[in-house]
Chain A
């Protein structure tokens, strides 16, 4: 014990006189370990605390405070009481002692055993003896943290202080300048307001002290270690100012004043604060300021220069209106909502009758903002504006005016939609329903495309108003839409009509099943040529266009199972009559029918019902029709079925793959089983219209006939898109037949599809020796074909190699490296080099028909980055070693790879590759130039240091490409020069004169597209470094 006390004395001595700060820590550890107690420490400090030198006393207190910060948890209530009394007393001492005293007090505020009453006494002496704003930054922050600590633990006691507490705080923070401390001070103010402290008569003072910072204008210094952002301060201050309705009478005039400011951020902050505060207010808080607020808001929206301000202004108007709508009306008080909306209507309504003037839109937006605030507001406003809008539509004769009115009406309908709640109230527009319908239908009949387009969107909005339109209205609407679909030539209008039909069909399927679908079917199957042979070709073309629109409309309306049941048979009938030739559908139309089936499969809900429709009806029918066509092709009768065409088969694939990947896995499994047994065993029993011969072998090419072998692409669509949980039947045999076919077949679609199907299956096979053996066996065969110079199956083997490489690369299979290395080595090959270079684009890009996530393929994230980082060095090495005439292949491969990388990776990898890319720009191959330019252009959007270092070389090469003989290269290089104009001004200013001179020539290019780019780029370079420019 004696040893301990000498140790303690020496620690104190070394800290106080020796000024060794580390001793505080040692002392604290000693106390925590129980070597000595606080009491002993105070005794040991005795001499320093009573010294006549203020600095020694300060040092003594500091040791005590620092120790307390470490071990305030172990103190007893008695000790705390004594220590607080001591510290409070020390506050009256010399000013150098104040900082450590405050630290000590702050440590004590964290004690859990704070005796009752001590918080109050601490604060009383603090407010009495310390002038906070004359303290240093850290001490001020210490005071705020004390207050925050006490507010957390002793709320009841502080509230007992009443308004004195608020007053004390106000005195402490008045004049605070440091953003770090302001955050703390705002937090305290926020607590005072939100936790119900008594503001007494100090509400205005509290507002004054905090509102003087509004609006916050603060830019953190660069490399700010404290990480305080302007947004943080703005948000904290906004919480304080908008916290209580007691501030309303002060805040609202302030906001009106600040809205006059020229600074955009101040306006924006004011508007957002306004929106925030009125959510707390009642109508009586707002009443006397409504006129002023409205004048400011109106001005901001009418004369706005920024969309942000406009939308903030509209939000504020909505907030004010909904605040007024909440108020409970007394019989004697006036209805402030009505008064306010009268103001709004007075200033805005008359602008709505001038549809060609600028203010029609701002006025409409303001009215709609108010309209969307509440049900009552929307009733008042629509009652006031709708009759005049409807009347105007009838009176105006110019289409542009009518269109503006329609658009305004549509916005009103939409603004009300958002405000209506679940409660079953009558739609605001019920009273106007007949005239609205008349207006829309008359606009649909108008001979003006933009008017018609607007009318379709109004119709959609009206239909989405719950319970507004009657069944008879819908039927009429469907009639109008059908008429437009069949008669309207304008592409834009038909697109809008199809979209509108889709939206309506979701809400009212019945009308579409009974009216639209039968009508479309009738129209498609009426053959114009049969009716009258003399009709001209144009007639035929228009029938073709009608069919096209009907097909896309069928897809658009098929969003619900009920409609799908009606629409898919029609589409299948198109296919089958095209096949038999009973109705003369062209190949294009058949492709479109398949697209429509695909769109339905993509969009429709995955239910048992729709799943059955696709797996039991659509897919078997597709297989059966294409098999019939294939068998017929051999008989070579007069009519050649369009279902033999590659484009039709390629359009069928996504129908099958989408249904197998999306709809009902259990049913998909059965479909796969049927498909595999059809292709492997020639089992035709599952197909409808079964009149097939029993000896078909679809995976064997018979002679030169490809009509059967190409069907393998349908098999691919089915088995490659199954969920991974579904087992592919007879997979071993299937793989080996596919391998055989892809290596020996001579028909491109057949062997490519076989290779893709093989790859798609490999990608999903479980990892293991079986798989490795399979790959090695296949690759051995591929390599033999590739290495034998005279092999006729070289292209086939190469195709298989690329697809298998892709399948393995996607899943990070260890063997993928050997395959891609083989591809790299082929870049030097005289025959396959260009093909190998192209293949990297396939390797790195997403494929739509298989090997993607939609088809449940095994795709690891960031496989591209991984491939690139593992192989870029090889590529650079190969480039340097290659003979001159082969370098192009390497550059092409590189630009194919880099083009497909995510932009983030491009940017990080660019420094290493830049010299190679610049080399590629001077490569004479136009394809390389073009692909390098297209890869550079997005990267140029962010000026990287590496690029800036090479600016001279970059600009020279880009300028040189301006005179390329290829138009596309000239255009791309001009776009890049345009992008460079956004680099930091000081870097590119030296090049300005040269670039402007160089760009004068393409201004007179013989191609307009080049000139347009040159004009754009030159304009930007002119603005560079010029006043008012950039």
Chain B
């Protein structure tokens, strides 16, 4: 953030944050089984910090609830994310952050698929391939400087 560096997209469009999920009566009922739904997954990833701006992925519209699909019974999660500009160099990093966040937050029965919203990034296929490759994700997280950036995206802002 120093004077010399220039951001790729200094003046991005900002979207409104959704409010906290409203609690329903069934959620407070001890006996009712709440299924894992789209909104719950979205709540996990919407507050991830953008690597460049002091803003969340939700505020930049990188993630949206309609692009989150979950099937609790079959243990499948599918997420599409949209980089702010087609040449965004941070796309892989953002995808990795989302993936790591879900790996840490979901029961391990889930199969997690994270990819770019079709047609929104120049090197869409390459990024998707990297994110789908378990070995490469694991290797990336062995790299401590990469892990450091991912952890910074995932850390909750100290108030």
Contact = CB atoms under 8 A, between A and B. Distances in A.
B66 interface: no
Nearest to A355: B14
B107 A1004 contact: yes
Interface string B141-159: 0001101111110111000
A209 interface: no
Interface in B1-29: 1-4, 7, 10-16, 23, 27-28
B33 A1006 contact: yes
A1028 B107 contact: no
B44 to A, nearest CB: 6
Contact of A357 (B14, B108, B156): B14
Given A260-B2, A358-B14, A1028 B34 contact: no
A1023 B105 CA distance: 13
A1019 B2 contact: no
B75 to A, nearest CB: 10
Interface residues on chain A, size class: 35 or more
B12 A1028 contact: no
B151 A356 contact: no
A25 interface: no
A1028 B149 contact: yes
A299 interface: yes
A1023 B147 CA distance: 10
Contacts of B13: 356-358
Nearest to A305: B1
Interface string A990-1030: 00000000001001101111011001001110110011111
B151 A1009 contact: no
B7 to A, nearest CB: 7
Given A303-B7, A1004-B107, A1004-B109, A1027 B30 contact: no
Contacts of A1030: 155
B2 A356 contact: no
B145 A1027 contact: yes
A613 interface: no
A967 B27 CA distance: 10
Contact of A1027 (B1, B4, B144): B144
A1019 B144 CA distance: 18
A966 interface: yes
Contacts of A303: 1, 7, 10
A832 interface: no
B137 interface: no
Contacts of B132: none
Contacts of A259: 3
Contacts of A967: 28, 30
Interface string A326-370: 000000000000000000000000010010111100000000000
A462 B48 CA distance: 38
Contacts of A965: 30
B104 A299 contact: no
A400 interface: yes
A967 B11 CA distance: 45
A262 interface: yes
B27 A358 contact: no
Contacts of A1003: 105-107
Given A305-B1, A1008-B27, A1011-B36, A1027 B14 contact: no
B3 A260 contact: yes
Contacts of A262: 1-2
A524 to B, nearest CB: 30
A887 to B, nearest CB: 26
B14 A1019 contact: no
Given A357-B12, A1026-B151, A1008 B105 contact: no
How many chain B residues sit at the interface, stated as a range, is 35 or more
By CB atoms of chain A within 10 A, which of B44, B55, B149 has the most? B44
A261 B4 CA distance: 10
Nearest to A1007: B34
Contacts of B152: 1028
Given A1007-B34, A1018-B105, A1028 B150 contact: yes
A938 B43 CA distance: 25
Interface in B63-117: 101, 104-109
A1026 B27 CA distance: 34
A1028 B151 contact: yes
A260 B149 CA distance: 24
B54 interface: yes
Contacts of B1: 262, 303-305
Nearest to B100: A1022
B71 to A, nearest CB: 15
Nearest to B1: A305
Nearest to A403: B16
Given A357-B14, A1018-B104, A1019-B104, A1008 B151 contact: no
Nearest to B145: A1027
A304 B10 CA distance: 11
Contacts of A302: 10
Contacts of A1004: 107, 109
B151 A358 contact: no
Contacts of A1027: 144-145, 147-148, 151
Nearest to B30: A967
A1029 B11 contact: no
B125 interface: no
A60 to B, nearest CB: 60
A1008 B34 contact: yes
A358 B105 contact: no
Contacts of A260: 2-4
Given A1000-B108, A1003-B107, A1027-B145, A358 B12 contact: yes
A400 B16 contact: yes
B53 interface: yes
A1003 to B, nearest CB: 5
Residue from the set A299, A357, A1000, A1026 with the largest chain B CB neighbour count within 10 Å: A1026
A260 B15 CA distance: 30
Contacts of A1018: 104-105
A966 B30 contact: yes
Nearest to B2: A262
A791 B144 CA distance: 74
Contacts of A1028: 147-152, 155
Contacts of B109: 1004
Nearest to A1018: B104
Interface in A723-745: none
Contacts of B40: 1008, 1011-1012
Contacts of B23: 1009
A302 B1 CA distance: 11
A702 B51 CA distance: 75
A358 B11 contact: yes
A299 B3 CA distance: 7
Contacts of A1020: 156
Given A259-B3, A358-B12, A1019-B105, 9 more contacts: A299-B3, A303-B1, A351-B11, A358-B10, A1004-B107, A1008-B40, A1018-B104, A1019-B104, A1029-B151
10 contacts: A357-B11, A966-B30, A1006-B33, A1009-B27, A1018-B105, A1019-B101, A1019-B156, A1020-B156, A1022-B104, A1028-B155
Interface of A: 259-262, 296, 299, 302-305, 351, 354, 356-359, 400, 965-967, 1000, 1003-1004, 1006-1009, 1011-1012, 1015, 1018-1020, 1022-1023, 1026-1030
Instruction: Give 5 nearest A-B pairs by CB, closest first.
Output: A1028-B148, A1028-B151, A1004-B107, A1027-B148, A1008-B34
